[in-house]
Amino acid sequence: MTGVLIATAVVAVTGIIIGIFLGAAGEKFKVEVNEKELLVREELPGNNCGGCGFAGCDALAKAIAEGNAPVNGCPVGGDAVALKIAKIMGSTVKPGAKPYAFVKCSGNCEKAKEHYKYIGPKDCKAAMNTPGNGPKACSFGCTGFGSCKAVCEFGAIEIVDGIAVIDKEKCKACGKCVAACPKHLIEIVPGDTPYMVACSSQDKGKEVKEVCQAGCIGCSLCVKNCPAEAIIMQGNVAKIDPDKCVGCRICAEKCPAKVIKELS
């Protein structure tokens, strides 16, 4: 009987010691939870698309709670989510035009020529392994096989007449289409962007005209006539800085190829 009591006492004492040790260790190594981080995470949509520039919604919530990301950092949630998060963080945010994706190509089936008839997987990345980066005569132009459409979770992209067309109302600016386009034709632009150049060709003017009726010929008339100095030449194609553009329309009027598109 004495042995049983001794064994019981040893087990009890051991249990107490282990309990004290675990309690101390738990206190020492416990991870502090930021309450605001949890509240912010609850408001985020959970798409984990990476469009905010972070690994996912958890990472964005942590960054917002720590003051390392803006309260309107989620492109999918838009103004509605931004306003809720701003309230949690005790700050304010001004609702504005939401950003969206823009396709820098105008070479549809009517305006762009084809080198050959393509027979293969209807996938833009697969077509890049064929001569000329695909059947379109302009090697810089939209292939039109819909790799961007395939990754869009919001139904914001359709392939119309051989070219990707984005519905800016449905677009959440998550950036997945930007990453999916093998020719880097898609760009996320501010919602109030007045004008953009709908072309990405780096060919010279004569070569552009031979393959597409809607390509920038690199004449730089838009650059020379922009009163706000919002346009520069990147190689042989013009690029408009949305932050500098004042929407005067002069560039669109001067462009002989008519590839400068009014967006707003």
| Same domain for 241 and 183 | yes
pLDDT score, position 262: 94
Judge if 139 and 80 occupy the same domain: no
> Other C-beta atoms within 10 Å of 8: how many?
10
Distances 179 to 71, 98, 175, 185, 195 between C-alpha atoms, Å: 24, 20, 7, 10, 23
- Are residues 131 and 170 located together in one domain of the fold? yes
Asked, for residue 236, whether it belongs to a domain, the answer is: yes
pLDDT value of residue 32: 61
CATH number of the structural domain spanning residue 120: 3.30.70.20
- How far apart CA 108 and CA 211 sit, in angstroms, is 11
76 and 122 belong to one structural domain: no
DSSP 133: G
**Within this chain, do residues 57 and 125 fall inside the same structural domain, yes or no?**
no
The CA-CA-CA angle for residues 146, 149, 150, to 5°, reads 90
Beta bridge partners of 112: 212
- Residues contacting residue 193 through CB under 8 Å, at least 6 positions apart: 102, 242, 245, 263, 264
Residue-by-residue pLDDT tens, the chain, 264 positions: 566 556 566 556 676 777 676 666 555 555 566 788 999 999 999 888 888 888 889 999 999 999 888 888 898 888 889 999 999 999 888 777 788 999 999 999 999 999 999 998 999 999 999 999 999 999 999 999 999 999 999 999 999 999 999 999 899 898 999 999 999 999 999 888 999 999 999 999 999 999 999 999 999 999 999 999 999 999 999 999 998 999 999 999 999 999 999 987
Q: Number of structural domains, the chain? A: 2
Domain hosting residue 112, numbered range: 100-262
